[in-house]
Chain A
Amino acid sequence: MIGGLFIYNHKGEVLISRVYRDDIGRNAVDAFRVNVIHARQQVRSPVTNIARTSFFHVKRSNIWLAAVTKQNVNAAMVFEFLYKMCDVMTAYFGKISEENIKNNFVLIYELLDEILDFGYPQNSETGALKTFITQQGIKSQHQTKEEQSQITSQVTGQIGWRREGIKYRRNELFLDVLESVNLLMSPQGQVLSAHVSGRVVMKSYLSGMPECKFGMNDKIVIDKQGKAGASDEAGKSSGKQSIAIDDCTFHQCVRLSKFDSERSISFIPPDGEYELMRYRTTKDIILPFRVIPLVREVGRTKLEVKVVIKSNFKPSLLAQKIEVRIPTPLNTSGVQVICMKGKAKYKASENAIVWKIKRMAGMKESQISAEIELLPTNDKKKWARPPISMNFEVPFAPSGLKVRYLKVFESKLNYSDHDVIKWVRYIGRSGIYETRC
């Protein structure tokens, strides 16, 4: 289990140090600083083993979070915890920065006491935590005994993520399907690898203890239904649009036994925002953009680059925040860019031409051409031609996932599924979206 947790700033100074177990000594703090933060070579592995002690670290802007252990723990668990902790901190005080951490260190220690106990991760549900760890220390003194006992019973109870007696005038829920699409494409347009990793994030404002059921176009479910009612025309037509999910994980509120037996997703949701599920697909991905590069070397001192991007989705949809990044050789001495749409600029500090387009509708194309002047060098090293990468945001799910229903049942209170206002939004973002040139 986790033996200790340290937070460092970019200089390697310790901001937060919390040791949970005796096997972690004081020198562990320095060991990580010396061997990872101040290492000569950049340390790329997130897990470092120093003197039989394992350090798991994540970096948020300039802040290092490191979990330390001497035992053989499940690394995935540790990272899950670290990410969760980042979420909790963000929920409490916003961006994780040195200043914020310094200003909130009492709170952070309080949180660390709560979410880790003797190195074992505990409840890290922000909603639940916020009920008893508050930034206004005085407030807790005014809590009545009833409230306190209620919190206790909730935290220790069966449904630890939701407290009882929540009441809303308007029962509302928001469902976001967030996907990031990753691609590596050859210059000729052949897909070398592609996958989508997606998340279903839900924000619920529902009264009482509602029972929810979530349905999507999961291939297995659709096929089963198709078999059950072979004559059902609708089932058949929707079967074409079903997607194959490679693997998925759920929030702790989802009843896994039911998912295993019926593949239905039913749960009592926490109050507020949470991540309902995570999934990954690799088949039949809709690639929102196609990048067509053309690079020509003119002599030793000049390079001509032409890049065409084509949007490949319904013309009625609009892609946003499009950014194409064209790497330039290391001996670039000057760049001239011409583009029809958006703005393009040579960024010397990143050794790339960055082309930004604010909006672009589907089934359109746009192009950029650049002349790159090169300085002759002594080195005979050839330019390795790194791939052209792209960022964007589209209002649909590139995996093809569709929310079919989200039903809410609350037997005790008198509101029905129809009374709940539901919002669904799809956002597809680029992950690592690269085309070789």
Chain B
Amino acid sequence: MPAVSKGDGMRGLAVFISDIRNCKSKEAEIKRINKELANIRSKFKGDKALDGYSKKKYVCKLLFIFLLGHDIDFGHMEAVNLLSSNKYTEKQIGYLFISVLVNSNSELIRLINNAIKNDLSSRNPTFMCLALHCIANVGSREMAEAFAGEIPRILVAGDTMDSVKQSAALCLLRLYKTSPDLVLMGEWTSRVVHLLNDQHMGVVTAAISLITCLSQKNPDEFKTCVSLAVSRLSRIVSSASTDLQDYTYYFVPAPWLSCKLLRLLQCYPPPEDGAVKGRLVECLETILNKAQEPPKSKKVQHSNAKNAILFEAIALIIHYDSEPNLLVRACNQLGQFLQHRETNLRYLALESMCTLASSEFSHEAVKTHIETVINALKTERDVSVRQRAADLLYAMCDRSNAKQIVAEMLSYLETADYSIREEMVLKVAILAEKYAVDYSWYVDTILNLIRIAGDYVSEEVWYRVIQIVINRDDVQGYAAKTVFEALQAPACHENMVKVGGYILGEFGNLIAGDPRSSPLVQFNLLHSKFHLCSVPTRALLLSAYIKFINLFPETKSTIQEVLRCDSQIRNSDVELQQRAVEYLKLSSIASTDVLATVLEEMPPFPERESSILAKLKKKKGPGAVSAGELEEGKREGGEVNGWEVNQQKSEPSQENASSLTTSPSPTPTAMHLSLTSFFFPSSLSQSTPSPSADLLGLRSAAPVSAAPVSAGSLLVDVFSEAGPAASTAGVNDDGFLRFVCKNNGVLFENQLLQIGIKSEYRQNLGRMYLFYGNKTSVQFVSFSTTLKPVDPLVEGGAQVQQVINIECLSDFSDAPLLNIKFRYGGALQNLSLKLPVTINKFFQPTEMSSHDFFQRWKQLSQPQQEAQKIFKANHPMDTEVLKAKLLGLGTALLDNVDPNPENFVCAGVIQTKAQQIGCLLRLEPNAQAQMYRLTLRSSKDTVAKRLCELLSEQF
């Protein structure tokens, strides 16, 4: 760049600027600017042609005025004129004005582009650089349209100067970022990649930024860059610090280039070529070795440059995740940094360790630093570093150290920074849940958590603890005792009161034997908190009271007294008032038996994805949860919140229905699976083991072979949709009928065994998955079914799966039978069940117009082809439910066919191996009489009859 000569000082500009600076007030400044603008206008307007110098000076003044915040609406033309000047400074000012002030003005853009083109094609490198800088600074789409084709040519041309090449590479990068569709590398690709071999380090540095960006979009095209990058890297790494001269920074050879090379390599998997890979590993080892060497300089720049390369190398090692040796070395290196006095280094080390912890090779190595990390958590001054330490603790936690880590995190929580408390609470809750070896420990931990940081405990956490207590018989007594003790504290958090109310309401009887926690004591304890609580908590407590009446009849009068008092029965809150009134009536009218039924113990909750986890996922926990490993969990809040007496009747079936798929698995790693979501432990559905990044190891394995419908969470929706219609489970016939209109659910359940079904049908073929869940804690021996041999041992709490293939040969009316035999505690159990395979499963829906439908309807007019039934509605007549059922039947629901919109019309073809049977259906609801008329016409009379029978039970 030529130095600004003395004559170019632009005295006028300096005077103007100093005038502005000396202005005493805004008004004075505006006056001065107005004067100057008028002067420039008259100069530009003047008939005399201005020389380049004054043009430059005035354009400069305009720029300055613009930068002061005033509008400039002239002078563009003069600036464009400057572009064609041969003097560097004039051209430079022209380009400066254009890149600061250009707007998409059509005629000017054309002129500007022309000037830029001239400069690009000139032989003068400084002019070319100026033009390239201008293109990059403007970086608009128009610029990209005009020059995207030109710049790659300049970039790879053999005779281009190095400095121009650098500018061209960066300019192209900028254009690519603004409009990637316009920058097409195509033919240039290989030549651009070969820039990595350029003699000039500056060119390589600029080119590598471009290549990294390009290869992120199309990795395949730039694959060849890997070997070049590796060789370049190895040359740099192995060079002595004096080799690279200008590119040695505080004794570190080309640190920026090394970092960029390492980052480029992170876009690709490990190289397949053994030689290349060997060389790369050598490089990485050298980098790690160099980190051990004593520093060549005390300057901070030296260590910064060195560490930058090191961290980038570690990131690459983690990215490859295939070299145990390197991973462990990286971990050890980071371990040294953990106690470094440089805060930034500690932060970075903790952050990198988080990712290292998730690698199976280095997990153990990371674990060795647990003491240091815990120490960092306790003593670190910088809150962001503390947070990283907490993250790392979370990441390195496994069964062996869970207790220690959870204890440490809990103790840290008391002093933790407010901003990270909620996240910490979630993490503690998850770790406690995930690695709980015994549930009493879990309950203790969570109650502690609520005590220490009640405000930060979200709803999900206490919902979870209640779900687990309800589902686990063995901890109920312990939980009740602990809660009771916790509630005795003079001041306890509202969440604690909620948990306490719920658990004592359910399991207060388990500790009532002790005179210190007699029913009345329990009640008084709860009620002492009542007045301090918010409305939702009070509502929950009222429900707990009515449960008390059931559990301990001796408290009835006391509780009735409480319910009767004005502050409840006349409460201004509708919800509280309603509960008080209803519970009071219920307790006084209903007999003990009715009470006992209504206020039965809560059925176990279905196991779903831990909602806490979903919550943590929502808050970005860096390094805590890898994305996409869990499906979006449904909020479980509804279940616990919906803990109301009047809902209980319908709930059990629904809940039980969905819990089948989630009974604990036999694999030891998933022993705590009750906490995890849908997990299909069978060999069939086992997806490939995920990389160890998986948080809970609970990748919700959607069965590989399963149809789209069977993706885990959908199951739940299917059930909840049919919720109100579902009748009590346990009776097989009933269970059988429930499957007419759906494919998945619980077929049978008693105290010992639960059988769930998932099935799918296509044409005349079907596949059914049967899940046998052992509900007890004792194993079933000599377990066998009539269908296929299965594992004769079913562990307590475990589940086995069986797959049946079904083919429909011809139409049928009787369902196949399933016999199950097993020994439970020595007693032989024998079960005989109808498999829910009905003729309608083989329906193919047929869409047809109104005209077609009635034509066929008339064709099937013979009396034996028709089956009709008039019956009373068993369920409320809800159009949406009806529609869902008819669709579940497998037929096509035809709209706008029947003249009466209330009526439903369906059509379908039943596929059997022997023949195809067409079926037409018409359902006429009569809302007033609560009756239905169902008409079926089919080309085969038996089919019409059977379908009519099946369907009449459904509505």
Contact = CB atoms under 8 A, between A and B. Distances in A.
B42 A10 contact: no
B44 A375 contact: yes
A45 to B, nearest CB: 16
B378 to A, nearest CB: 38
Contact of A331 (B25, B39, B74, B103): B74
Contact of B45 (A349, A351, A375): A375
Contacts of B39: 348
Given A42-B26, A62-B25, A378-B74, A334 B45 contact: yes
A118 B41 CA distance: 57
B32 A349 contact: yes
Given A333-B45, A349-B32, A349-B35, A377 B74 contact: yes
Given A350-B31, A351-B34, A378-B76, A373 B45 contact: yes
Contacts of B32: 349
Nearest to B43: A333
Interface residues of A, number: 19
B38 A348 contact: yes
B105 A378 contact: yes
B473 interface: no
A261 to B, nearest CB: 49
Given A10-B25, A62-B24, A349-B34, A333 B41 contact: yes
Nearest to B24: A10
Contact of A375 (B24, B34, B41): B41
Contacts, number: 50
B44 A333 contact: yes
A62 B27 CA distance: 10
A83 B651 CA distance: 78
A376 B25 CA distance: 31
B880 interface: no
A48 interface: no
Interface string A320-351: 00000000001111100000000000001111
B25 to A, nearest CB: 5
A334 B43 CA distance: 10
Summarize B's interface: helix, strand, loop or mixed: helix
Interface string B37-65: 11101101100000000000000000000
Contacts of A233: none
Contacts of B74: 331, 375-378
A42 B69 CA distance: 13
Nearest to A381: B73
A379 interface: yes
A42 B24 CA distance: 15
A348 B73 contact: no
Interface in A375-424: 375-379, 381
A330 B45 CA distance: 14
Contacts of B73: 330-331, 377-379, 381
B31 A334 contact: no
Contacts of A334: 42, 45
A10 B26 CA distance: 9
Contacts of B24: 10, 62
A375 B62 CA distance: 15
B76 A331 contact: no
A272 B54 CA distance: 61
A381 B37 CA distance: 18
B34 A331 contact: no
B35 A332 contact: no
B42 A333 contact: yes
Nearest to B74: A377
Contacts of B34: 348-351
B580 to A, nearest CB: 44
A333 B74 CA distance: 11
A328 to B, nearest CB: 9
Nearest to B71: A379
A348 B35 contact: yes
B15 to A, nearest CB: 16
A246 to B, nearest CB: 33
A361 B735 CA distance: 113
Nearest to A98: B24
A42 B30 CA distance: 12
Nearest to A379: B73
Contacts of B41: 331-333, 375
B187 to A, nearest CB: 40
Nearest to A9: B24
B46 to A, nearest CB: 8
Interface in A356-387: 373, 375-379, 381
Nearest to B32: A349
A10 B32 CA distance: 17
Interface in B73-131: 73-74, 76, 103, 105, 108
Query: Which of B32, B42, B108 has the most CB atoms of chain A within a 10 A radius of its CB?
Result: B42
A376 B31 CA distance: 22
Contacts of B26: 42
A62 B26 CA distance: 10
A381 to B, nearest CB: 8
Interface string A203-233: 0000000000000000000000000000000
B39 to A, nearest CB: 7
Interface in A1-59: 10, 42
Query: Which of A330, A373, A378, A379 has the most CB atoms of chain B within a 10 A radius of its CB?
Result: A378
Contacts of B35: 348-349
Nearest to B107: A378
Query: Which of A10, A331, A349, A373 has the most CB atoms of chain B within a 10 A radius of its CB?
Result: A349
Given A331-B73, A332-B38, A375-B74, A349 B31 contact: yes
A378 B24 CA distance: 32
A208 B37 CA distance: 63
A189 B22 CA distance: 44
Interface in B748-796: none
A140 B32 CA distance: 49
Nearest to B45: A333
B594 to A, nearest CB: 62
A98 to B, nearest CB: 9
B325 to A, nearest CB: 59
Contacts of A333: 38, 41-42, 44-45
A12 B103 CA distance: 37
A348 B76 CA distance: 21
Nearest to B31: A349
B793 to A, nearest CB: 75
A377 B41 CA distance: 10
Query: Which of A351, A376, A381 has the most CB atoms of chain B within a 10 A radius of its CB?
Result: A351
A251 to B, nearest CB: 34
Contacts of A351: 34, 38
A431 B658 CA distance: 85
Nearest to A40: B69
Contacts of B44: 333, 375
B340 to A, nearest CB: 41
Contacts of A62: 24-25
Contacts of B45: 333-334, 373, 375
A407 B35 CA distance: 55
The 9 closest A-B pairs by CB, nearest first: A348-B38, A333-B45, A349-B31, A379-B73, A333-B41, A349-B35, A377-B73, A348-B35, A377-B74
20 contacts: A42-B26, A62-B24, A331-B41, A332-B38, A333-B42, A348-B35, A348-B37, A349-B32, A349-B35, A350-B31, A351-B34, A351-B38, A375-B44, A375-B45, A377-B73, A378-B74, A378-B103, A378-B108, A379-B71, A381-B73
Given A349-B35, A377-B73, A378-B74, 19 more contacts: A42-B26, A330-B37, A331-B73, A334-B42, A334-B45, A348-B35, A348-B37, A348-B38, A348-B39, A349-B38, A350-B31, A351-B38, A373-B45, A375-B45, A377-B74, A378-B103, A378-B105, A378-B108, A379-B73
Interface of B: 24-26, 31-32, 34-35, 37-39, 41-42, 44-45, 71, 73-74, 76, 103, 105, 108
Interface of A: 10, 42, 62, 330-334, 348-351, 373, 375-379, 381
